[in-house]
Amino acid sequence: MNTYFNLKRIYYIGMGFVIAAMITGLLWGNPHFHQMDSTFMMHVLLVALVSLCLLMYPAFRNRVMKTVLISAAIAYFYTIFFLYPDTWSTFIYICLIPAISILFFDPKLFYLTLFMNTAAITSIVSYVMITQKGGLYVLIKQDLIGNMINFFGSQIILCLLFYLTYLRIKKQRLYYEQIQQAERIKTAGQLAAAVAHEIRNPLTVVKGFLQLYEQDSSYNEEAKKHFALMIDELDTAEEVISQFLTLSAPSKEISMEKIKVKESLYNVVGLLHSYGLLHANRIELEAEEECTIAANQMEFKQLCINLIKNAIEASEDGHSVLVRAKQVKHNVEISIIDHGKGMSEMEIQSLGTPFYSLKSKGTGLGLMICFNIVKKYKGTIRFQSVKEKGTTVTLQFPLYEEMM
C-alpha cells in the first residue's frame, strides 16, 4: 500500500515536470507565440490533451487509456517536429516514442507503437521529399540516410530493451505464482493432516472397545468373529490415515531403509485390494525375490499407492492391473501396467503439474508427490501410453547395494 502511494507521488512529481516543460516550450521563445496563428493553437491543444491524459492515467489504468495516451504523445511529438523544423532535438523525442509504452509492460501496445512510429516517420520523410520541402526541413534532407539509420537503430535498441525487460518480468511473475501455489499446497496439506488426525482419535477409541468386547466371555463366538472383522477393517482405515499423514508432513525426519520390493508391493497391493474390488479390478503382482532398494518405506509405499490407484481409476470395470518388479542390470524396475483409457502425448507432458487432473474428483497432486519421491531416491519414472489402449508406468531405482 505504502509503495503504491510512493509510486503515485513520484508519478505526479515527474509528470509535473513534463507538463511544465511542455508549457515552457509553448510560451518561451516560440516564434508563433505573438502571432497566435493556427499553428500555435494546434500546439496549445496538444499540450492540453497530453497533460490531461497524463493526469488522468492513474485513475483509469486500462488499455483504452493507455492507447489514448500514447496516441496523444505521438501526435504531440510529431506536431512539434513539424511546426518547428529548426529545432533538431524534437527528432530525439520521435525516436523515443516507443519508450513510453515500455512503462506499461503491454507487448501488444509496445509493438503497435513501434509500428505506428515507423510508419509515421516514413510518411513524413516521403512527404518532405515528394513535396520538395527539403528547404524547410534542412535537417532531414541534409543527411537523410544517416538520420534514418539512426532512427531505425534507436527503434531496434528500444525493441531489445523492451523484450529483455519483459522476459525478466514474466519470469518473476511466474516465480511469484509458483510461490503462491506452493503455499496453497502447504495449506491443503496442513488441513488434510488436521482432518486425518481428528479421524484417527475416534477410530482408536472404537477399536479399543471392540478389543475389550472381543475378550468378553458374555459374547458368543459368532459376535466375536464380527468384532475381529471390525477390528481388521479399522486397522486398514488407520493404515490409510497414517499414509495420509506422512504425505502431508513430508518434512519430518525420514529415514532411509533397505526395502524388500516384493514384500512392500505385496503390502501395497493388499491395501489397495478393496479399492480395486469396488470396480471389480484385480491387481496382479509379479515380483522377483531379492530386489532391494534404499528408500523410506512409507514414501515408497505412497509412491506405489498413487500409481496403482491411478491405474485402477483409468481402467474400466473388470480389467486388471499388473504390477511387475524385476532386476535390470544395477536397477530395480517396477512396472505398473493398465489397459485403461490411456493418455495423449500432450497429457503426458502435463503430468506432475500441481492440480493437473482430468478426474471430476481428482486432486492432481498424486503424481507431483510421486515425482518428488522418485527424484529424492535417485530413481526415474517413465510413462508410455496409447489413448484408449492403456498405460505403462515404469519406475527404476538403483539397487540397495549400489546406493550404500
Quick one: which segment of 24-32, 88-96, 362-370, 373-381 binds Mg ion (CB under 5 A)? 362-370
Q: At closest approach, how far in Å is the CB of 65 from ligand ADP?
A: 42
Residue pointed to by grid coordinates 488434510 = 192
Instruction: Name the residue nearer to Mg ion (CB basis): 366 or 390.
Output: 366
Q: At closest approach, how far in Å is the CB of 276 from ligand ADP?
A: 13
Q: At closest approach, how far in Å is the CB of 310 from Mg ion?
A: 4
Q: At closest approach, how far in Å is the CB of 342 from ligand ADP?
A: 6
Q: From Mg ion, ligand ADP, none, which one binds at residue 276 (CB under 5 to 8 Å depending on kind)?
A: none
Cα 340 to Cα 251: distance, rounded to the nearest angstrom: 34
| 371 binding ligand ADP? (CB under 6 A) | no
| 341 binding ligand ADP? (CB under 6 A) | yes
Cα 116 to Cα 157: distance, rounded to the nearest angstrom: 17
Q: From Mg ion, ligand ADP, none, which one binds at residue 302 (CB under 5 to 8 Å depending on kind)?
A: none
| 357 binding ligand ADP? (CB under 6 A) | yes
Residue 292: what are its φ and ψ, rounded to 5°?
Answer: -130, 145
> Site residues for ligand ADP, window 280-319 (CB under 6 A)?
306, 310-311, 314
Q: From ligand ADP, Mg ion, none, which one binds at residue 356 (CB under 5 to 8 Å depending on kind)?
A: ligand ADP
Residues 271-310 vs Mg ion: string with x where CB under 5 A? ---------------------------------------x
**Binding ligand ADP by CB under 6 A: which of 247, 337, 367, 373?**
367
Q: At closest approach, how far in Å is the CB of 370 from ligand ADP?
A: 7
Cα 203 to Cα 184: distance, rounded to the nearest angstrom: 29
Give the residues lining the site for Mg ion (CB under 5 A): 310, 366
Give the residues lining the site for ligand ADP (CB under 6 A): 306, 310-311, 314, 338, 340-343, 351, 356-359, 362-367, 391
